[in-house]
Amino acid sequence: TRPRAMIYVACNPAAFQRDKREVERYGYHMTELSLFDMFPQTSHSELLGVFELIIHQFAVTLLLQPGLY
């Protein structure tokens, strides 16, 4: 069974964008995005994304791309 939602945290915006596309291929849609400055003494910041499973979109994806799963 797939989780209905997941939370993803990344400190690299490019990696977050790459991984977001991959997660969306499996029927998840990002519903929230937050930026955190966990270490204010550095130039780094963290992105937190909430992804929710879209049931009907996931079924269509599986039908159209049988080798995906």
pLDDT in tens, the chain (69 residues): 789 999 999 999 999 999 999 999 998 999 999 999 988 999 889 999 999 998 765 555 555 555 555
pTM listed for this prediction: 0.73
Task: Tell me which residue has tokens 């080798």.
Answer: 67
pLDDT for res 56: 63
**First-to-last C-alpha distance (Å) of the chain:** 13
Cα–Cα distance measured from residue 48 to residue 57, given in angstroms and rounded to the nearest whole number: 23
Catalytic positions, please? 11
CB within 8 A of 51, min separation 6: which ones? Answer: 5, 6, 7, 8, 23, 24, 28, 29, 30, 31
Return the pLDDT at 10.
95
